[in-house]
Amino acid sequence: MGKVRVTRQQWVEAAVRAIARGGTAAVAVDTLAKDFGITRGSFYWHFADRDELLRAALELWQRAGTDDVITALEAIGDPRQRLLALFTAALDDNGAEGFEVALAADATHPIVAPVLAQVTERRLDYLTSVFRQAGRKPAIARRQAVTTYAIYVGWIHLRHTNPTLVPELAADGDHGATATITHVVDTLLRA
């Protein structure tokens, strides 16, 4: 049997999955190594310590869950269509909601807190710019951005903690998630 090689990226992705399952406390080097079927020596080839792995996982989440999404949405000129695409992408059931719910629970963690604040600020700034492009004055655009983000946070929390209780929020679209997203966006743009 050949020796298993685990890349830095695989460690980071495993840390993201661990956070989604059990928060930052679930990022345990021994547990991750056991899951890979290797010793922890591979970990130290890629990372100085657990904190470096945690920072890398948060960086991946920030890039994939915020920066890449915003970049992709810039091609959509119409603010309504952009908001529809944003909600659809953000609420896709890709496991990230478990990650974000876990981060909210760990919001005071010294490594998590600054990244969570930076991501929240970036997302709110982006949403504010979308509402500005829809013709809202700065204060109103900001208020709508905060409302939109609160809806998103509540949506992922409800879907994560009570997935069968609110089928309208299901990612599969079979229970009206698309209709619910459209209703939310239209309501926000009417305000």
What pLDDT, on the 0 to 100 scale, is given for residue 163? 74
- State the fold for domain 58-190: Tetracycline Repressor; domain 2 (1.10.357)
What pLDDT, on the 0 to 100 scale, is given for residue 171? 61
What pLDDT, on the 0 to 100 scale, is given for residue 52? 98
What pLDDT, on the 0 to 100 scale, is given for residue 2? 46
- Measured distance CA(112)–CA(187) in Å, rounded: 33
pLDDT tens, position by position, 129-172: 999 999 999 999 999 999 999 998 998 888 888 877 777 666 65
What are the E-state strand segments in the chain? Answer: none
Q: Where are the domains of the chain?
A: 58-190
What pLDDT, on the 0 to 100 scale, is given for residue 177? 74
- Measured distance CA(133)–CA(129) in Å, rounded: 6
What pLDDT, on the 0 to 100 scale, is given for residue 38? 94
What pLDDT, on the 0 to 100 scale, is given for residue 158? 85
Ramachandran sector of residue 37 (left: φ over 0; alpha: ψ -120 to 50; beta: rest): left
Residue 8's contacts (CB-CB under 8 Å, 6 or more residues apart) are 46, 47, 56
- Residues in the chain predicted with pLDDT less than 70, given as ranges, are 1-2, 93-97, 168-176
